[in-house]
Amino acid sequence: MYRIILLFLISFLLFMPLDAQKDMNSILSEKYASLTAEHLPGFYLGIIKYGNPIYSKAFGMANLEHFVPFSGRTVSDLGSVGKQLTVMGILQLKEEGKLNLDDEIHLHLSKLPALNEKVTIKHLIHHTSGIPDVYALHSLKGFRYGDHISQSDAYRFLEARPVVDFTPGSRYRYSNTGFMLLAEIIKEVSGRSFEAYLKEMVFSPLDMNQTFIMDVPGEIFTYMADSYVASSQGNYTKRYDNSTLQGGGGIYASGYDVLKWIDNFRTKKVGNEDSFQFMLTNAKLSTGETIDYAGGINVDQYRGIERYHHNGSSAGARTRLVFYPKHQLGFIVKSNTPSVGYSQFTEIENLIIDQYLNDFASKQKSNDNPEERLINNSVTPSADVYTGKYYNEAIDLTIHANIENGELQLSNFYYPLSSLQYQGDDKFSDNRNSAIFFKGKDDEIKGMIIETPRASGIEFLKRNE
């Protein structure tokens, strides 16, 4: 272990230009000077070029209680960055001749209830299956962030509501449920656990020895960071994710290990040419539209430079992985607090481009946090028309609807869900979620349809009491 770390440090000192290293260090050290304190969470940034680590530095603490600094060997939850590893597991099974990507998923999932449409493995990988996201359904049911969710919970939702929300392949909608099913396919086809298969076929060949999969709530790994969120008073509290859903997340890894995975885009030590061709090709919908999502990773251009990238979020952990294939340069940045999150990651990405790819990049920089469009509707909805209880039998859920201060307040038995503004024509929205009410022949409200970014067409009928 120490020999590997020593070689790592020597290599980035040899291959990194001293002026670039100095600039990166000075800019980041100045910008994140506050994180040198022992009472703040932190992050790690590692950059690799042509297989050589050219920058590696951590700021802040992995554990605040025991003053453990963040480092390149700190292990944390990668969140959805792990999806590309799941896809590589599926592609390894394809290379072994054990499945095809156009296979209907029921061929490899004996316990899955019959769905109303044909869904293929490829649909799951591209988020085009129409299967609603399990986290979205759980939130409607009243589950709070951090509540335990297991693989069996996701199956139960599919058993209760065995329908897809649109024709598979016709639309893109992000679904962790789909990647949970990919993990189940890996288990059933390989005859091994999801972790055992990925360890043998992906992690070990790349020497990713500090990469793990959490399949037991609260499982502890060596050098593991705690995750934290800041309170309104400015102090930090721990944030836990007790979900053990596999496939869509739950992969924990060190920064050093993720750099090894990034370099696999160059070496293709794991995965043959056909696998990478599929993994890095943008999906095309049945409408003919091409989307930015490929095989567990986004493929697009930023500032005129092609990149592969994905974000990850779990509890307080935030992660971003980026690789620029034409320049064989990539980076991993991961933190244990949303206080160092996606807006900071965008700043870091722009800094990396300015430092190493400036001759190839446009000066236009994106704003990942644009102001939302303000909804302004002068019409005040009638409380008598929409107020009431609405029930969905499939997921056994009652939602209460009330009009307060001109806005639709939705809540379940446990806590408020949304505050939506009136859009006219019996529709309420907050730019992300919406409730659309529908009427019967008597022109009375009979129910509403809930739409969220990850679940749509969930129909609730009004209860007459």
* Coil, strand or helix at 182: helix
What's the rounded Cα separation, in Å, for the pair 176 and 157?
A: 13
Q: Is residue 279 part of a domain?
A: yes
Q: Which residue has the tokens 């979620």?
A: 433
Same domain, 177 and 243: yes
Same domain, 398 and 277: no
What are the DSSP E strand ranges found in 132-176? none
Q: Is residue 192 part of a domain?
A: yes
Residue 431: which CATH number? 2.40.128.50
Same domain, 217 and 355: yes
In 10 A of CB 222, how many CB atoms?
A: 9
Residue 137's domain spans which residues?
77-360
Kindly list the distances between the CA atom of residue 28 and the CA atoms of 33, 130, 299, in Å, as whole numbers in the listed order.
8, 42, 27
What's the rounded Cα separation, in Å, for the pair 450 and 435?
A: 5
Comparing CA positions, the residue from 451, 450, 115 lying closest to residue 461 is 450
Residue 222 makes CB contacts below 8 A (sequence gap 6+) with 75, 210
Same domain, 162 and 220: yes
- The pLDDT assigned to 465 comes to 66
What's the rounded Cα separation, in Å, for the pair 109 and 115?
A: 12
Q: Is residue 378 part of a domain?
A: no
Q: Is residue 14 part of a domain?
A: no
What are the DSSP E strand ranges found in 2-145? 43-49, 52-59, 61-63, 68-69, 75-77
**What are the tokens at 246?**
């596999």
Q: Is residue 66 part of a domain?
A: no
Amino acid occupying residue 342 = Y
Same domain, 345 and 388: no
- The pLDDT assigned to 217 comes to 80
Q: Is residue 68 part of a domain?
A: no
Same domain, 299 and 165: yes
**Structural domains of the chain, count:** 2
Q: Is residue 42 part of a domain?
A: no
Same domain, 303 and 212: yes
Domain boundary among 345, 360, 375: 360
Residue 436 makes CB contacts below 8 A (sequence gap 6+) with 426, 427, 428, 448, 449, 451
Residue 275: which CATH number? 3.40.710.10
Q: Is residue 205 part of a domain?
A: yes
- The pLDDT assigned to 138 comes to 64
Within a 13 Å sphere around the CA of 306, how many CA atoms are in the beta-carbon half? 8
Within a 13 Å sphere around the CA of 133, how many CA atoms are in the beta-carbon half? 18
Same domain, 88 and 136: yes
pLDDT in tens, the chain (465 residues): 544 444 444 344 434 444 555 577 788 777 777 666 667 899 999 999 999 999 999 999 999 999 999 999 999 999 999 999 999 999 999 999 999 999 999 999 988 888 999 999 999 999 999 998 877 766 666 555 556 677 777 777 788 778 898 999 999 988 989 999 999 999 999 999 999 999 999 999 999 999 999 988 888 899 999 999 988 777 898 888 766 678 988 999 999 999 999 999 999 999 999 999 999 999 999 999 999 999 999 999 999 999 999 999 888 899 999 999 999 999 999 999 998 888 899 999 999 999 999 999 887 776 544 333 334 444 567 767 888 888 887 667 788 888 888 888 888 755 566 788 888 888 888 877 888 898 888 888 998 888 876 666 677 888 876
Same domain, 202 and 281: yes
Same domain, 262 and 410: no
Same domain, 93 and 125: yes
- The pLDDT assigned to 241 comes to 75
What are the DSSP E strand ranges found in 379-454? 388-392, 397-404, 407-411, 416-424, 427-429, 434-439, 445-452
End-to-end CA distance of the chain: 68
Same domain, 180 and 257: yes
